[in-house]
Structure 1
Amino acid sequence: MTTQPVVLITGALTGIGRATAFAFARDKARVVVSGRRVEEGRQLAEELRSTGSQAEFVQSDVRFEDDVSKLVDAVVARFGRLDIAVNAAGTEGETIPVLDQTPERYTAVFDTNVLGTLLAMKHELRVMSAQGSGSIVNISSTMGLRGAAGLSLYVASKHAVEGLTKSAALEAAAFGVRVNAVAPGPVETAMLNRLTAGAERKAGMLATVPLKRAGTPEEIAEAIVFVASEKASFMTGEILRVNGGRTAA
């Protein structure tokens, strides 16, 4: 890997993705951030450049293969390679019982969380396999290991992300590429606030965390940077759970 790795982050405009972009920028990586909202993306790239990092924004929607293919091609056109990819684009969907789920709600969650991860890996691996090197980090969740009433589609999508991660890791090992996932527990993001829908429910969720608090996006970002780095060079096909002890029992 180069001394200034080229890093692509999808879903980079908010939450964990945004914090991860700054974590890599602080290490002087060359960072390409991607998301659907142009103005926010351009502002983020400018903020990253102010840290001294080389940074670019490329608009992309991971639900569409043409977008993803062009995104990866844009990274290579700008920096000549792709060393690290963090697939952080995701959505939680609506909190609804299985009895009320619909094909439309399924598509809304799975197109981003599962198809988006699959398409991203497909085109990231297209480049990394030719290089003979690279590291991919997908974002799962505590819900990739357990269930949650009302969140069947989100839970199922994160189980799928973990399966995709392990399968891709077995394929990618043949050409020197590692594929892992980081699975956060409750993290102080807008998504957590939407999921809990109120201070009382949020406090109830955090009471189930042995450390009795939510994580921060920056804490998850540090875990992602580690898993992506050469410090974790013998790790592939693994799910690193960063959840304050929530799945220890």
Structure 2
Amino acid sequence: MKRFLMALALLIPAAAIAAGYSGPLDKADIDLKDKASLQSGAQIFMNYCLGCHSMEYQRYQRTFEDLDIPLDLGEEFLQFTGDGVGSHKFSAIDEEASADWFGLTPPDLTMVARVRGADWLYTYFRSFYVDESRPFGVNNEVFENVGMPHVLQELQGVPRKTWERRMVDGEMKEVYVGIKSDGTGSMSEEEFDQAMLDLTNFLVYTGEPMILERQRMGMFVIGFLLVLLILSIMLKKEYWRDVK
């Protein structure tokens, strides 16, 4: 419980900073029933995020079983920390060292999707851009003055803010058209967007692994209450039928 409260304490200031962003967010059309997407998101997280960010409130075994990943394959290819599939997902980085490097220990991401929302995460992952004034040479449109490097640059390529000359109100002006990659990444723009959608999908699942079961049970409960309501109305009419 103490660690859980500490993790929330780390997330709350970041959420407050993120709340300052008032721009549009891209819609994350996630599908928690898509096991292939969830498996892809898990792979991206384990390879690119777990080095700094922990997910210590979920066990490897739970993830592998929920996502239909054989335990032996998951342990061999997706588990880089912990003593076995039953262990929690702790980051590989030393907390004191990370605090020195980044100014703050990278927060646990178990509940990040519930704190920020899927649309925010999906937009954030695709909003890094080159900014030489920052310590790691990058910034983020959604999270201004972000304190982490662009760890997914290997996949995306080098992203830069882009302007084009366009006719506006009868005059040629430089118009901002968004962030564009230089094409040096291992993925195309469409592939990278899909990969970030998969990562977002995985983080949403992690925030509430029982969400589909909860929704399914909720439908049964609502159905039961509706049937009970009908029976109650019929019973009431039967009791009061002879009452004038």
Asked whether the two chains share a fold, i.e. TM above 0.5, the reply is no
Please give the TM-score of this superposition, normalised by the length of structure 2.
0.26
Please give the TM-score of this superposition, normalised by the length of structure 1.
0.26
The structure number with the bigger radius of gyration is: 2
Answer 1 or 2: higher relative contact order, Cα 8 Å, separation at least 6: 2
